[in-house]
Chains A and B, each alone.
Chain A
Amino acid sequence: MYTCILFLLVVGALAAGVGGRKLGEKGAGILTSSCLIISLSWSVLIFYEIILSFSTTHIKLWRWLDSDLLTVYFGLQFDGLVAIMLLVITTISTLVHIFSTAYMLGDPHIPRFMSYLSFFTFLMVVLVSSDNYLQLFIGWEGVGLCSYLLINFWLTRVEANKAAIKAMLVNRVGDIGLILAMFGLLDRFGSLEFSSLFNVVVVSAPSSDITLICLLLFIGAVGKSAQLGLHTWLPDAMEGPTPVSALIHAATMVTAGVFLLIRSSPFFEQAPLALMIVTIVGSLTVLFAATVGVIQNDLKKVIAYSTCSQLGYMVVACGLSHYSISLFHLMNHAFFKALLFLSAGSVIHALSDEQDIRKMGGLIKLIPLTYIMVVVGSLSLMGFPYLTGFYSKDLILELAFEQYYLTFAYWLGGFSALLTTLYSIRLVYLTFLSNTNSRKAIFRRVHEGSWNLVLPLIILALGSLFVGYLTKEVVWSFQITFPPIVPVFIKLLPVFLSLGGAALVIVLYFYSIHLFKVPSFIGRMGYTFLYSAWQFNYVLNYFLAKRVWRGGHQISYRTIDKGTLELVGPKGVSNFLIGLTRGLSNLQAGQVFNYALVILIGVAMFIWGVV
């Protein structure tokens, strides 16, 4: 049963990928979706067995690498963390599969799309269920690859290709961190298996080695989870189809970095410095992404920055050593963010592929169901009391307040909660409530989608409402966390901040005409600064990427590879040999006395040598 999950996903992916032409567009969708549904039901069973019945499972499949220094098995490890991840992945993936059959209708490449989606899910399951770092790395790279393939699924669009390449390249930076961390682990502990590593690290004394390894692991997580510095690929990745954004860039792949942090928690526990850096980066990401999200005009980019911000919350929770809470937030976030993305997809679908929220508005009367979905998702995202997001987000903030020197994370997080509300309500307002700005031809064609477009939304909405409440203590089971004792003021502050944010939007948008008649210089500067995401792209490109590019081109490519090595290597050798063989042919002139002379010279040489 445990390996069957993996097997089924591969079967679905291969069948849709290789035999898509035979299956047809509908057949591919049905096949992959049913594979996913079966996997989902098994994941539920695994969840029951592992979390509720406390029976952790470890399956050694076969020996993979077997050398003197390194022995690696293929193995599957199912513990509490993995069970929850599996449940999240298969649930979201199933819903996204079903959603895609409606959303992508009419696209000629549906089988390819479904195949990529299934393959992605398979690799994600490999990533979470592996029992060593190397196998995890397979999944890690594999999901990166699938992300690349799916971002530029519409491969005739230049923007999509650029975004896909960017995602790949930026992720490589993080991958380097992960690879170096693996080397470090191998050097220090001589193994890459979780079971042996974690047992060894607990008894070993804290040292700077472990801090270094943790920081390298964190670089990997920063790349994958789009934390500050390497986040630039995530907003651009929104060029991909919306179901992809929901599955990969909100619910699952981007959480792989957080998963890595949670998985490597025994190491981080030995490295307080690394934990501190994790918290700082995480909380800065929270704030940064929230500020940028407020200004964005693209519907999906707003949600993308929101994702970035929420990932920051998860990282902060990891930095505070409350890994189970991080996982809890991961799970909740998967539900409400997938809901937001899918309903955004529904909106985009309804408006004939319009993504700019300034050109929307007034949709509440036309697609009320989608409106409800977006509102539920947004409220959950804001952490409105007793919705899913509330349980984890508030807990993270309270835990942050409890910390001695890291309490700034609380203030940053709290302020970001206000901003979160700001952009969420702004989004709802501009899309649904305000007067419409879209063209009449489009506006008249607005409609709700078919059942398979709506059904996933409803299920996710139920999840966004109740999952947090239902699973709050279950998810903590593998690392017990007691709710901290904080003053009432602190406990209520995030909620008030959220409500304040909501009020602020209304104020801004009703009275903005009076406030900003002529935007001042500072106002314009601030707007540009935020709109271009703190100029991260520009700075990175100008100061880093361009120089590295130039260095790579001129030094390593032109001078070394095509210059020195080419001259000494292939070209030199072949020229040398050709010259030699020409000389030899000239010697072979076809005249007998020449030959006799050569023979005599040879004899003379030998005699001279002997004597």
Chain B
Amino acid sequence: MVALGGLCLVSSSNWLSVYLAIELSTLSLFILVAQKGGSGQSAEAGLKYFVLGALSSGLFLFGCALLCGFTGGTHISYINLVLNPGLGFSELRIPIGSLLIVVSLLFKLSAAPFHMWAPDVYDGAPTTTTALLATVPKVGYFSILVSIGSAVNILLVGALFSMVVGAIGALNQTKVKRLLAYSGVGHMGFVLWGIEVGSFESIQASLIYVVLYVVMSICVFAIILTLGAAKNLIVEFSGLSRRLSVLALTLALTFLSIAGIPPLVGFWGKWLVLLSGVVYQYYLVFLLAVMCSVVAGVYYVRIVKIIYFQASFSLLISSKVLRKENWINLRKALLIGAGLYVIGFTMLSPNLWLQLAHWAVGGLF
């Protein structure tokens, strides 16, 4: 259902159908988040997501209403045509309307300052759902944000906030999923910046960034699922390199890639976005972005440090010994392997990605 919603979202050209698509995927996500029966956390997360999602839906509909009321149509292209600056409307309702729509999309993308739900929901939801939540909707919302292509300043502010919050918020997190939520916020900052710059190359870079982010997230979540940690605390990774060395290496490489360490693919995505930003002379934002990714690098590397250099606590050791040894199954192994392949070797020949992104973005213009 989520995927269907995402597909509908990507292909819809009418604000109302966009709304329906969003609601379709969101509602199914509500249920998925709250699915773990008997778990207070899961229910809490579902409820939070539901309430805040309703709020954002309300904002979205209000924005739509403003726009439709002014223009009298619901087609995106039609509205865009009417709102063409050449026609010279100076009506307060239009920017507010489009602003409200963008805000609700930012909410779905969990960009700051509308990110508040993300850590709680990510943490509370079952890990499978979290993986879904962190990956699939992002691509869809990304496409719709690109296609409406407006409200540049809001996007920039959102991008800046997201980068800062993503970098700083995750510093003192103790749970993996919360940390990944903040990390997602930071990454969305980069993506939004790319969209905001608005040139062909920057949108292409953003697209690549989103796709790579999704790949890396899948890899991380698959590994977390495989490990089957009890509470998803970061400390539970300690001493992983001694128990499951291959998996530890994969996890470490993935985190380093997310942090943007050069030979890995995360660096490439960051580099593309930063490059397009610098070309269009966003120097201050560039500096901020680099600084944020340095700060963000701290907590990714901290996880790698914990994986390799920190001995297990005695309490954890006992719980690990008691738990049944769970072997990694083939599907997860294939998934992780494919993810690692992309992470590790894309830098060797990134042309395929570039070409695909080029076609995809070319369709927009």
Residues of chain A whose beta carbon lies under 8 Å from any beta carbon of chain B:
577-578, 580-582, 584-585, 587-588, 590, 592, 594-596, 598-599, 601-603, 606-607, 609-611
A578–B56 touching, CB < 8 Å = no
Question: Are B116 and A595 touching (Cβ within 8 A)?
Answer: yes
Q: Contacts A599-B114, A607-B99; is A577 near B119 (CB within 8 Å)?
A: no
Among the listed A577, A599, A610, which residue makes an inter-chain contact with B116, where contact means beta carbons less than 8 Å apart?
A599
23 cross-chain CB contacts under 8 A: A577-B171, A578-B171, A580-B168, A581-B169, A581-B171, A584-B165, A588-B116, A588-B120, A592-B48, A592-B51, A592-B52, A595-B52, A596-B52, A599-B52, A599-B55, A601-B113, A602-B103, A602-B114, A606-B99, A606-B154, A606-B157, A609-B153, A611-B95
B111 to chain A, nearest CB (A): 10
Q: Does B59 contact A (CB under 8 A)?
A: yes
Give Cα A447 to B66, complex, Å. 112
Please state if B168 and A577 are interface contacts (CB–CB under 8 Å). yes
Query: A601-B113, A610-B95, A610-B154 are known contacts; what are 19 more A-B pairs with Cβ within 8 Å?
Result: A577-B171, A580-B168, A581-B170, A587-B116, A592-B48, A594-B116, A595-B117, A596-B51, A596-B55, A598-B116, A599-B114, A603-B99, A603-B100, A603-B103, A609-B157, A610-B96, A610-B99, A611-B92, A611-B95
Q: What residues of chain A lie closer than 8 Å to B116, measured between beta carbons? A: 587-588, 594-595, 598-599
Neighbour of B113 across the interface among A578, A594, A599, A611, CB < 8 A: A599
A578 to B113, CA, bound (A): 20
B contact residues around A578 at 8 Å (CB) = 171-172
The answer to the question of B295 belonging to the interface, with a C-beta cut-off of 8 Å to chain A, is yes
Q: Determine if B51 and A611 form an interchain contact, defined as CB atoms under 8 angstroms apart.
A: no
CA distance A590 to B124 in the complex (A): 11
Is the beta-carbon distance between B172 and A606 smaller than 8 angstroms? no
By the criterion CB–CB under 8 Å, are A577 and B295 in contact?
Answer: yes
Q: Please state if B157 and A599 are interface contacts (CB–CB under 8 Å).
A: no
Could you say which residues of chain A place their CB within 8 Å of the CB of B119? 588
Chain A residue nearest to B167 in the complex (CB): A577
| Highest count of chain B CB atoms <10 Å: which of A580, A581, A587 | A581
> Would you call B172 and A599 a contact (CB within 8 A)?
no
In the complex the two chains form, is B171's CB within 8 Å of A602's CB?
no
Task: Say yes or no: A592-B103 contact (C-beta < 8 A), given A581-B171, A584-B168, A607-B96.
Answer: no
Q: Which residue of chain A has the shortest Cβ distance to B96 in the bound complex?
A: A607
The answer to the question of B30 belonging to the interface, with a C-beta cut-off of 8 Å to chain A, is no
Q: Which 4 A-B pairs have the closest CB atoms?
A: A595-B116, A581-B171, A602-B113, A584-B169
B153: chain A residues within 8 A (beta carbon): 609-610
B363: min CB distance to chain A, Å: 29
Q: Please provide the chain B residues from 289 to 305 with a CB less than 8 Å away from any CB of chain A in the complex.
A: 295
The reply to whether B107 and A611 form a contact with Cβ atoms under 8 Å apart is no
What is the 8 Å Cβ interface bit string for chain B, positions 92-122, against chain A (1 contact, 0 not)?
A: 1001100110010001000001101101100
Bound CA–CA A585/B120 (angstroms):
12
A38 to B43, CA, bound (A): 84
For the complex, is B24 an interface residue (Cβ under 8 Å from A)?
A: no
Please give, as numbers and ranges, the residues of chain B lying within 8 Å of A588 by CB-CB distance: 116, 119-120, 169
Interface residues of B in 17-50 (CB under 8 A from A): 47-48
**Do A585 and B172 touch (CB < 8 A)?**
yes
Task: Give the Cβ gap from A585 to chain B, nearest Cβ, in Å.
Answer: 6
Chain B, 143-183, contact with A by CB distance < 8 Å: what is the 0/1 string? 00000000001100100000001001111100000000000
**A577 contact set on B, CB distance < 8 A:** 168, 171, 295
Q: How far is the CA of A261 from the CA of B48 in the complex (A)?
A: 82
Which of A581, A595, A598, A599 is within 8 Å of B168, CB to CB?
A581
**Residues of B close to A601: CB separation below 8 A:** 113
Chain B residues within 8 Å of A, Cβ to Cβ: 47-48, 51-52, 55-56, 59, 92, 95-96, 99-100, 103, 107, 113-114, 116-117, 119-120, 153-154, 157, 165, 168-172, 295
Residue of B nearest to A594 (CB): B116
* Residue among B56, B107, B172 having the largest count of chain A Cβ atoms under 10 Å: B172
What A residues does B165 contact at CB under 8 A?
584
Chain A residue at minimal CB-CB distance from B56: A599
User: What residues of chain B lie closer than 8 Å to A607, measured between beta carbons?
Assistant: 96, 99
Q: B106's closest neighbor in chain A, by CB?
A: A602
Min C-beta distance of B156 to chain A, whole Å: 11
Bound-state CA distance A603–B51 (Å) is 17
Given A599-B113, A606-B154, A607-B96, CB of A585 within 8 Å of CB of B169 = yes
Most buried by A among B107, B116, B154, B172: B116
Q: Min CB distance, A569 to chain B, in Å?
A: 14
- CB of A478 to closest CB in B, whole Å: 53
Chain A residue at minimal CB-CB distance from B107: A599
| Closest residue of A by beta carbon distance from B47 | A592
Q: What B residues does A606 contact at CB under 8 A? A: 99, 103, 154, 157
Cα of A459 to Cα of B56 in the assembled complex, Å: 97
Closest to B92 in A: A611
| A575 nearest CB across to chain B (Å) | 12
Instruction: Give every chain A residue within 8 A of B157 (Cβ-Cβ).
Output: 606, 609
**Cα of A590 to Cα of B52 in the assembled complex, Å:** 12
How many Å from the CB of A588 to the closest CB on chain B? 6
Chain B nearest CB from A92 CB (Å) reads 50
Please give the distance in Å from A582's CB to the nearest CB on chain B: 7
Task: For B172, list chain A residues within 8 Å (CB).
Answer: 578, 581-582, 585
In the assembled complex, the CB of B189 is this many whole angstroms from the nearest CB of chain A, namely 15
Min distance, Cβ B346 to any Cβ of chain A, angstroms: 31
What's the Cα separation between A577 and B116 when bound, in Å? 20
Distance in angstroms from B61 CB to nearest chain A CB is 14
The residue in chain A whose Cβ has the minimal distance to the Cβ of B153 is A609
Question: Closest CB-CB distance, A590 to chain B, in whole Å?
Answer: 6
**Complex Cα spacing A594 to B119, Å:** 14
Closest A residue to B51 using CB positions: A592
Within the complex, what minimum Cβ distance (angstroms) separates B6 from chain A?
23
CA distance A515 to B99 in the complex (A): 110
**Complex CA–CA separation, A173 to B164 (angstroms):** 48
Give the chain B neighbours of A590 by CB distance below 8 A: 120
Q: Which residue of B lies closest to A595 (CB)?
A: B116
Residues of B within 8 A of A592 (CB): 47-48, 51-52
Q: Which residues of A contact B103 (CB under 8 A)?
A: 602-603, 606
The docked-state distance in angstroms from the alpha carbon of A601 to that of B153 is: 17
**Complex alpha-carbon distance, A364 and B169, angstroms:** 85
B151 (CB) vs chain A CBs: closest residue: A610
Residue of A whose beta carbon sits closest to that of B55: A596
Residues of B within 8 A of A609 (CB): 153-154, 157
